[in-house]
């Protein structure tokens, strides 16, 4: 969604014939929902936040996630923020629907 988010993790995106269903197939994930949602006033939907997508209940989040392209306070308390892009946001902003994310590097949060 331009200027809002980049969503990824839907296994259906491996099949170009299912493009109309990309991002909608929550039942096509790993089949193992997280089963719990944690919301924090410290982790808000700002530029570069990484959150779990879900079909309406945060406990049903599975394999799909998204990166916020702009601040989205309306999502706070609805989607669990579990990460933050700390470099490469310029690359995230250039992603197009048919691009493939091949590698992501995770770094543990520094104690504050």
What is the pLDDT, as a whole number, of residue 27?
54
Q: Which helix (H) or strand (E) holds 93?
A: helix 89-94
**Tens-level pLDDT at each residue, the chain (112 residues):** 778 999 888 777 777 787 777 766 555 566 778 778 888 888 999 999 999 988 888 888 888 889 999 999 999 999 999 999 999 999 999 998 778 888 888 788 776 5
Burial (CB count within 10 angstroms: exposed 0-12, middle 13-18, buried 19+), residue 55: middle
Q: What is the pLDDT of residue 90?
A: 96
The predicted pLDDT at position 8 comes to: 86
- Are 41 and 19 a contacting pair, CB within 8 Å? no
52/62 Cα distance (integer angstroms)? 8
Q: How do the domains of the chain map onto residue ranges?
A: 5-14+33-90
Q: What's the confidence (pLDDT) of residue 112? A: 59
Which residues 6+ apart lie within 8 Å of 13 measured at CB? 22
- Taking the CB of residue 22, how many other CB atoms lie within 10 A of it? 19
Provide the pLDDT for residue 66: 94
Q: Report, at the CATH architecture level, how domain 5-14+33-90 is classified.
A: Beta Barrel (2.40)
Tokens, residue 84:
């933050």
């Amino acid at each position: 969604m331009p200027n809002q988010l980049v969503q990824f993790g839907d296994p259906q995106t491996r099949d170009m014939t299912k493009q109309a269903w990309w991002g909608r197939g929550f039942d096509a994930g790993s089949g193992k929902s997280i089963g719990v949602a944690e919301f924090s006033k410290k982790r808000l939907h700002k530029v570069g936040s990484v959150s779990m997508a879900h079909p309406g209940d945060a406990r049903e989040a599975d394999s799909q996630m998204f990166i916020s392209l702009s601040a989205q306070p309306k999502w706070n308390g609805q989607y669990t923020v579990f990460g933050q892009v700390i470099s490469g946001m310029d690359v995230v902003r250039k992603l197009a629907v048919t691009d493939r994310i091949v590698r992501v590097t995770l770094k543990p949060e520094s104690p504050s």
